[in-house]
Amino acid sequence: MDFDARLQAVKDLSKEGKFAEAIEPASALVRDAEAALGASDARVGHALHELGDVTYELRGPVAALPVHVRALALRERLLDAEHPDVAESLNVVANCHMTSGRHADAAPLHQRALAIRQKTAPASEHVAEVLNNIAHSKLSQKKFDEAGALLKEAAEVWEKALGPESEKLAIAHSNLGGLHFERGDFDEAEKHFRRSLEIKEKALTPGHPGIANGINNLASLYERQGRPQEAEALFKRSLEIVEARLGADSPRLEDVLVAMGDLFAGNGRPKEAEKLLRRALAMREKRAGPDAIEIAPRVNRLGVFLHQVGRLDDAAALFERVRALAEKQGDGGRGEKALALQNLAAIAQARGDLPGSERLYQESLEMREAEQGPDGTSGLAITLANYAGVCMLLERTAKAEVMYRRAHGLLEADPLSDERLIADCCLQLARLASLGGRDPDAEPWLRRALARLAVAVPPPPASLTASVLRELDRRYRPPSGLLAAFARIASALAGGKADPETWLVAAERSLREGRTADTVRLLSAAAKVVPPGRSAKYDARANELRARAKFSP
């Protein structure tokens, strides 16, 4: 067999992004190589590696992992422990774990790969590649400082080894953009995302799936910034590339469809959103089967959307479907079943069935604890916080406080926790302290909430920030300058779209203190971010304040 020519043909197709065309010749090469050369020939490892890469692009890390594990096992058996091919396989197996969220499994493999590369090829593009992958894992875990240092080092090595227009350098810019995106520095994120896309468009063939990845990054940034039209145009361009090059069944196509669905759902286009989310679900059902647990995330996502638009019966049917799928998995389906029960509890709450909601939350909590133990992750904390909210409505404040405290402790202990969830727990605990006549205990919780909101990325809901400010102002009457500072923080975090209440709280306090200049300044700032007519209640209060401050807009 002409192994080298066939292997090169697969590599050429992959380089052009034609993974759908590459999958069959890659699979055939592995079969033929094993038959002709024997399972202990190192060339079989090369064939398996290429098949793993193609599988990853077409079907994702879960499908690619066993192929890459086979290649690694063969190479470790046949080659020296520090052979570059061993490092190559260690790196890609680690990447499969990392992109599936298993960072603890990825870390030792990445470190082994890095040690080999640094010893055998220091300051090479291969060292930079592993450094970049480790940085990506750190970024996913919100270890921003560690990620930033590694990304900078990787970019410097790549640029020295390959030049400033290398496709590899585009990867570094993409991850640096992701770092700034996560930190909320959107201008710097856009600069890196644009540079990454520019390099890819020069280095790759037109329509390469790698270009689609760069487009998606920019689209997600524009969506976060409240630029839906620009985001939509980019998502559509990405959709065309992915569908043309990876095929109509690609997991990447699913991801783009869901991203577009989320964009439409958040911008008043529910019919289009539903169509895209249903298409993504249909693709997952076709690939995995209608009764496979792998479809649960897509079913759940559609159910959450339908709940959000008020179609409670349709949403409940989907959550029941997830519960049924999970129950077939036994203990292996605990996580999905707990989430389904939690979502069903939310449906019951929306219907006004608080006892039914409490029962479902209790069942979900027991399932979470069986899966994770009493000191589980933020998923357990979210269940506790939601359950506590129902207890508040049922006036079971003592039980609610115990749950909120426990949820707060779990969230604080998890470095990946959403700052907004921590802030909300702090706010609820402040309210419970006040309800129990313990006002001195409330103030620290309110200040913790504000501190969390000030660093929250992505921006907190403006209504949550305003709620904390109202509570703080009503109970503790802090200096108006402090409230004004919080108002500015809230507006900046919300991309200039802070809840009008955030500004009015500070403006009203300034006026009560006779600080009319501050009142005028705050109302002027609010006028820049709150369009007239957005809220009749806001307009009336703002006009009253202007009149009292003898101010005309």
- Summarised one tens digit per residue, pLDDT across range 291-305 is 888 899 999 999 999
Comparison of pLDDT for 440 and 95, the residue scoring more: 95
Structure tokens belonging to residue 541: 């209060």
Q: Based on the structure, what is the number of domains in the chain?
A: 1
Give the confidence band of 196 by pLDDT, cuts at 50, 70, 90: very high
Round the average pLDDT of the chain to a whole number and report it: 86
Structure confidence at residue 82 (pLDDT): 93
Is the pLDDT higher at 553 or at 160?
Answer: 160
Query: Per-residue pLDDT tens for 336-358?
Result: 899 999 999 999 999 999 999 99
Residue range(s) defining the domain that contains residue 536: 463-553
> When comparing pLDDT for 377 and 411, which is higher?
411
Torsion angle of C-alpha atoms 112, 114, 118, 119, degrees rounded to 10: 10
Indicate whether 470 belongs to any domain.
yes
The CATH number covering residue 497 comes to 1.25.40
The position carrying tokens 């200039």 is 496
CA 194 to chain centre: 20
Query: What pLDDT is recorded for position 466?
Result: 67
Locate 60 and state its tokens. 């994702």
Average pLDDT over residues 358-383: 85
Residue labelled with tokens 């080659």: 79
Q: What is the pLDDT of residue 553?
A: 43
pLDDT reported for residue 334: 85
- Condensed to tens digits (0 to 9), the pLDDT of residues 308-336 reads 999 999 999 999 999 999 999 887 788 88
Residue-level pLDDT at 458: 61
CB under 8 Å to 540, separation ≥6 — which residues? none
Query: Does 502 map to a domain?
Result: yes
Average pLDDT over residues 45-56: 94
* CB-neighbour burial class of residue 395 (10 A; exposed 0-12, middle 13-18, buried 19+): exposed
Q: Cα(339)–Cα(327) distance, rounded to whole angstroms?
A: 12
Name the more confident of 548 and 40. Answer: 40
**CA 247/CA 60 separation, integer angstroms:** 13
pTM: 0.72
Confidence grade of residue 493 (pLDDT, cut at 50, 70, 90): very low
N-term to C-term CA, the chain: 82
Alpha helices in 121-166 (DSSP H): 125-140, 144-162
Q: Give domain status of residue 34, yes or no.
A: no
Q: Taking the CA of residue 349 as centre, how many other CA atoms within 13 Å lie in the half-sphere pointing to its CB?
A: 21
Least Cα distance to 423 among 357, 361, 499, 490 occurs for: 490
Q: Residue 120: inside a domain, yes or no? A: no
Q: How confident is the model at residue 539 (pLDDT cuts 50, 70, 90)?
A: confident
Confidence band, pLDDT 50/70/90 cuts, at residue 31? very high
pLDDT score at 495 = 47
Banded pLDDT at 500 (limits 50, 70, 90):
low
Q: State the average pLDDT over residues 544-550.
A: 77
In the prediction, which pLDDT does 532 show? 58
pLDDT digits 0-9 by tens, 159-172: 998 888 888 899 98
How many C-beta atoms surround the C-beta of residue 152 within 10 A?
15
Does residue 181 surpass a pLDDT of 90? Answer: no
- The pLDDT score that the predictor gives to residue 494 is 46
Examine residue 504 and state whether it is found in any structural domain, yes or no. Answer: yes
More confident residue, 363 or 513: 363
99-136 in b/e burial notation, b at 16+ Cβ within 10 A? beeebeebbebbebbbebbbeeeeebbbbbbbbbbbbb
Instruction: Please check the confidence at residue 533 and state whether its pLDDT lies above 60.
Output: no
At 496 the pLDDT is 47
Q: Distance (Å, rounded) from C-alpha 185 to C-alpha 208?
A: 28
Higher-confidence position of 121 and 461: 121
Residue 441: its pLDDT value, please? 86
Chain segment 103-149, per-residue pLDDT in tens: 999 999 999 999 999 999 888 899 999 999 999 999 888 888 899 99
Residue 14 maps to a domain: no
